[in-house]
Amino acid sequence: MARASTTTIRRIRVVGKERTPWAVRLGLGIPLALLIIAFVSWRLVGLPEEELVPRQRQLADFSFAWSCPNGHSFTGKGQLESRPCPTCGLPAVPVDVYRCTEHGDVKVEIHFDSASEDPQRPKAIQFRLPKGAWTDLSAGVRCPRCDKPMQRLADDPLSHRKHP
């Protein structure tokens, strides 16, 4: 009789020890889970739309000189695709001006990398001289008349990224 009652007491104690931490865990865990869900929902719903498309936003942060095949120039935000010329409607592309010390300035079309490794800084990867073909920009731009390396006149707009 004495043995049986000891066993019963021990079992109750063991069960009691297991129950207390679970009750504490549930008591803290449920509000914590609700807090996390609320925070995540707030982040997803509350973010401005452009923050969910970082690459487009980065390029659109900058203004570029654009030029169409008819020679119309205008200023517009950066984007990977061509942009319709506001004067004639033909597709325009961003342009940069390069200077040869002997032959003067040449307007060069530039093309951005759609798969830039750094989403913070879309990279210009190709250029095209007037009536030329798209060429890799990594080797620099050479004068179409004397083949000497030319210097870009304007600073790289992407190197002065604005921090909103």
Chain residues binding Zn ion by CB under 5 A are 68, 70, 72, 85, 87-88, 100, 102-103, 143, 145-146
Inter-residue contact 108 to 127 (CB < 8 Å): yes
CA atoms of 96 and 129, how far apart (whole Å): 10
State the residue for tokens 């990594």. Answer: 138
The enclosing H or E element of 91 equals: strand 91-100
Query: Tokens representing 137?
Result: 């920009």
CB 85 to Zn ion: min, Å = 3
Strand partners, 76: 64
In the bound complex, what is the minimum distance in angstroms from residue 61's beta carbon to Zn ion? 25
The smaller minimum CB distance to Zn ion, of residues 8 and 101, is found at 101
Residue 35 or residue 88: which is nearer to Zn ion going by CB? Answer: 88
CA 45, 47, 49, 55 torsion-angle sign: negative
How far apart (Å, rounded) are the C-alpha atoms in residues 74 and 71? 10
Strand 104-112 relative to strand 73-77, pairing: unpaired
- Minimum distance of Zn ion from residue 88's CB (angstroms): 3
- Residue closer to Zn ion (CB basis): 59 or 85: 85
Q: Which is nearer to Zn ion, 76 or 125 (CB)?
A: 76
Write down the least CB distance from residue 71 to Zn ion, Å.
7
Beta carbon nearer to Zn ion, 100 or 108 = 100
Shortest Cβ 129–Zn ion spacing (Å)? 12
